[in-house]
């Protein structure tokens, strides 16, 4: 059995680590990893493969720094000959990136089955590229793995009960990876000691989402962060695109905000474990924060991870300075019950690989 896995961004590397580890345990199952290069900075890509012991990609397409259309188009062009050469039984894609959509579209055009991990999530906003990628990928997939009741409701409302697709409930792969790597991060990362954060209370900040990379939104976000930094220490591992955007638009960041380069997964887990609060526009970090027992504020008006908001672990916010500060204060005072288990027991990878193997076997009969 041959699986071609297509990844290109940090959240996908993290999810793929758990599934690749499970595939390696299976006799007769081969995985070929294609890295589109969508995240190209060493600290956004290479370090994740090294730290998380993900098998090195057989193909690295080095496609990055382009417009949405150009990036997706070049990925389609380069993925097609790879699928012709490798002749996989199934193409495995994760989440909501351009890499996900390009891999799925290419496979569908070639009549190769598609498995989509993290299906059914919706922001209900087609101006968000990730929402478009999710919807289109779900619609052409043969196997959709979903991890929440809200994801299933979304799929059912869209008619997936009557589509030729198998819907499979799993726990969340993020739980697999956090449970597996949290202990390792304590011995493999020295970032808190190196930064003098071991005895210091600080909040962790990340901002990278394309919808926030507008002058209006970024000014509102940075203005709010500057106000928060008057009373709270903020550590901000900055995405290369965000750094470039802030600098090119002359947006002033308070000297009280400690900006650092992007970090690897072990360093991020340690920053998460020791921080007091998280401010982010990443749904992945929002879930990782919950799994590490931290409250968060999501710099978006809606999250597909509705359960985090409904149970008080995270809050959303309009992108406006006053609203961000008001919602920040509200979340600081929240007292959610972290004994509540939302994302399962760390067995998502096993469930995913079990169903992929059964699917391939059924087609070979």
By annotation, the residues acting in catalysis are 208
DSSP assigned state of 97? S
Return the bridge partners of 30, or none.
2
CB atoms within 10 A of CB 288: 25
CB atoms within 10 A of CB 216: 10
Residue from 67, 116, 48, 86 nearest 267 by CA? 48
Mapped onto helix, strand or coil, the DSSP state of residue 235 is: strand
In contact, 57 and 31? CB cutoff 8 Å: no
Backbone angles phi, psi at 223, to 5 degrees: -60, -45
User: For the CA atoms of 119, 307, 313, 173, what is the dihedral angle to 10 degrees?
Assistant: -30
C-alpha 103: how far from its chain's center? Answer: 17
Angle separating helix axes 173-188 and 283-291, nearest 10 degrees:
70
Question: Where in 232-298 does DSSP place strands (E)?
Answer: 234-237, 257-260, 277-280, 296-298
Residues contacting 54, CB < 8 A, separation 6+? 13, 16, 17, 20, 33, 48
């Amino acid at each position: 059995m041959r699986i071609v896995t297509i990844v290109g961004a940090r959240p996908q590397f993290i999810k793929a680590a758990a599934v690749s580890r499970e595939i390696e345990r299976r006799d007769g199952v081969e995985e070929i990893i294609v890295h589109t290069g969508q995240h190209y900075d060493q600290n956004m890509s290479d370090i994740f493969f090294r730290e998380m012991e993900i098998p090195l990609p057989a193909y690295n397409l080095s496609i990055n720094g382009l417009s949405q259309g150009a990036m997706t188009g070049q990925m389609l062009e380069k993925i097609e000959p790879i699928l012709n050469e490798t002749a996989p039984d199934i193409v495995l894609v994760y989440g909501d990136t351009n890499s996900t959509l390009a891999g799925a579209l290419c496979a569908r055009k070639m009549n190769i089955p598609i498995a989509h991990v993290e299906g059914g999530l919706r922001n209900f906003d087609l101006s968000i590229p990730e929402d478009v990628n999710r919807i289109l990928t779900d619609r052409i997939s043969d196997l959709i793995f979903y991890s929440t009741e809200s994801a299933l409701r979304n799929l059912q409302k869209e008619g997936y009960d009557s589509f030729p697709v198998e819907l499979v409930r799993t726990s969340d792969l993020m739980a697999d990876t956090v449970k597996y790597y949290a202990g390792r991060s304590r011995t493999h990362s020295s970032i808190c000691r190196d930064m003098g954060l071991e005895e210091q209370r600080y909040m962790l900040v990340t901002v990278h989402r394309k919808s926030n990379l507008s002058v209006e939104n970024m000014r509102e976000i940075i203005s709010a962060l500057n106000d928060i930094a008057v009373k709270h220490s903020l550590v901000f591992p900055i995405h290369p695109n965000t750094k470039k955007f802030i600098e090119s638009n002359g947006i002033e960041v308070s000297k009280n905000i400690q900006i650092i380069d992007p970090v690897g997964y072990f360093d991020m887990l340690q920053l998460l474990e020791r921080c007091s609060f998280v401010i982010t526009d990443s749904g992945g970090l929002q879930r990782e924060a919950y799994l590490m027992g931290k409250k968060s504020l999501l710099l978006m008006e809606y999250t597909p991870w509705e359960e985090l908001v409904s149970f008080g672990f995270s809050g959303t916010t309009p992108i406006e300075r006053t609203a961000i500060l008001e919602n920040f204060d509200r979340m600081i005072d929240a007292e959610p019950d972290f004994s509540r288990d939302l994302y399962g027991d760390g067995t998502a990878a096993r469930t995913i690989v079990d169903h992929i193997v059964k699917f391939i076997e059924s087609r070979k009969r």
